[in-house]
Each structure stands twice: as structure tokens, then as C-alpha cells.
Amino acid sequence: MAEQLMLLPNADPARMRLLRLPRDLGSTEAYRLVTGLIAALESARAPGAGRVPVEDVIDALEERGFEVLEVILGPTLD
């Protein structure tokens, strides 16, 4: 199976992350795992604490076998 990648978009392009999925994880499973993980991190924060830091999300994903890849933004296509 070819390696699969997932882009975690963000309004701030500097905060976007590109992930390599673990080989034993399908795309649907990966999507569910990532959204569930982010939801769990958000619910564990104190009310009014703001958004979960990107670094916390990345650390949790790396613990589950995801690998963060460098993103180089190119010119727009439109």
C-alpha cells in the first residue's frame, strides 16, 4: 500500500501540519482517530483556556505512530 498523508489545515498557514499515517491505519480510521484525539484534548482543557496548542496535538499524534513532515507552501494555482 502506498504511504498515506493527512493535511491538518489551519487559517494560519504557518500552523498547518502534514502527517504521514501509520502503515496499519486506513484513511477513515486515521480521520476518526485524529478528530477524536483533538476532541479529547479540547475537552480536557479548562473552560475558557482557549484552543489546544498545536504542539500538544502533534505530541499526542506522534505517540500513536503519526509522523510530522515538513510543509513547503508553493505559489497559489489560481
**pLDDT by residue for the chain (78 residues), tens digit each?**
578 999 998 888 888 899 999 999 999 999 999 999 999 999 988 888 878 888 899 999 999 999 999 988 888 887
The C-alpha cell at 34 is 485524529
Give how far Cα 4 sits from Cα of 18, 32, 43, Å: 11, 15, 28
Predicted local confidence at residue 1, as pLDDT: 59
Look up the pTM and report it.
0.80
pLDDT for 39? 92
Paired residues of 19 in beta bridges: 6, 68
CA dihedral 48, 51, 55, 61 (to 10 degrees): 110
